[in-house]
Amino acid sequence: MSFIGRTTILRADGVTPLTDEDIRRVAPSAFAGEAHESRSARYAYIPTADVIRGMRDAGFVPMAAGQARTRDEGRRGHTKHMLRFRHADAKPLSERRVGQTFPEIVLLNSHDGTSAYRVMSGVFRLVCLNGMIVADREGAEVRVPHKMGWTAFRGIGVPGCGPPKPVRSRPP
């Protein structure tokens, strides 16, 4: 994914999940309060901060966060960002052996029109004792374009655990 090459990523130590403050430091756009001013009235804003809360409520904690770089400083607080979640009860990486696999959920979103809201699941394999991991298998993906009518989700629809339940609304 080319997004990763243009990103500063903060990874948790493999034991302690990232706090909102940690995420805010490397991916401030995850906490944008509204869509970028360049978006039209048809753009549906999907707040990443609400998804983070929903993931925590579902038992998944953020273990890595990053945000794409942008030349336009005005977009810095709205640009494409990524979060990786693991289940809170998952064995820490420090207790794993090289070759072991573990599931993760990856969230991609932006608030400037550069990305759809995407939630992907996958299985990752530890390839080095320094914590380096690679994708072993890809799972389900939910992709929601930021279009008029998609305003909220009841739950976040964790891939592999059933589909999201979008709530369609009519324009006023």
Q: Is residue 21 classed as helix, strand or coil in its secondary structure?
A: helix
Write the DSSP assignment of 29-95 as a string of letters: GGG-SS--TTS-TT-----HHHHHHHHHHTTEEEEEEEEE--S-GGGTTTS-EEEEEEETTSPPGGG
pTM beyond cutoff 0.75: no
Task: Kindly tell me if the per-residue pLDDT of 160 is higher than 50.
Answer: no
- Helix/strand/coil for 25: helix
- Domain residue limits, the chain: 2-150
Q: Which helix (H) or strand (E) holds 136?
A: strand 133-144
Structure-block tokens of residue 93? 């990486």
> Over the stretch 61-118, which tens digit does the pLDDT of each residue have?
998 888 877 676 665 666 788 888 988 888 776 777 788 888 888 888 877 766 777 7
